């Protein structure tokens, strides 16, 4: 286990929050901390995290599991119920 400095990118206003986290922290724990510290507001559908330029990683994955590197930017993505959207009819 080791510490990693990351930049969380706010989902609506583009603000960056730079913090050092333990790389064993899971995405779920990070989202809970971001809400508890009022960087983001609770969202009924929840949030996902993704390394900028990559895909979202599962909530149970740690930052180490997701291969988060020092100084990576982590996008906070509001989850939405998009079932059925984007299909060509």
Q: What is the pLDDT averaged over residues 78-87? A: 59
Instruction: Supply the DSSP symbol for 38.
Output: T
Q: Check if the beta carbon of residue 78 is closer than 8 Å to that of residue 14.
A: no
Q: Where are the alpha helices (DSSP H) in 18-88?
A: 27-36
Percent of the chain exceeding pLDDT 90 equals 85
Tens of pLDDT along 5-34?
999 999 999 999 999 999 999 999 999 999
Q: Is the pLDDT of residue 37 over 70?
A: yes
* pLDDT for the residue numbered 82: 55
Residues linked to residue 75 through DSSP beta bridges, in sequence order: 9, 50
- Burial degree of 78 (CB within 10 A; 0-12, 13-18, 19+): middle
Q: Please give the structure tokens belonging to residue 13.
A: 């206003």
């Amino acid at each position: 286990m080791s510490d990693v400095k990351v930049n969380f990118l706010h989902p609506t206003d583009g603000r960056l929050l730079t913090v050092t986290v333990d790389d064993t922290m899971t995405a779920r724990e990070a989202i809970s901390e971001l809400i508890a510290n009022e960087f983001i507001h609770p969202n009924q559908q929840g949030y996902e995290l993704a390394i900028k330029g990559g895909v979202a990683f599962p909530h149970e994955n740690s930052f180490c599991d997701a291969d988060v590197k020092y100084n990576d930017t982590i996008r906070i993505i509001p989850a939405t119920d998009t079932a059925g959207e984007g299909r060509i009819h």
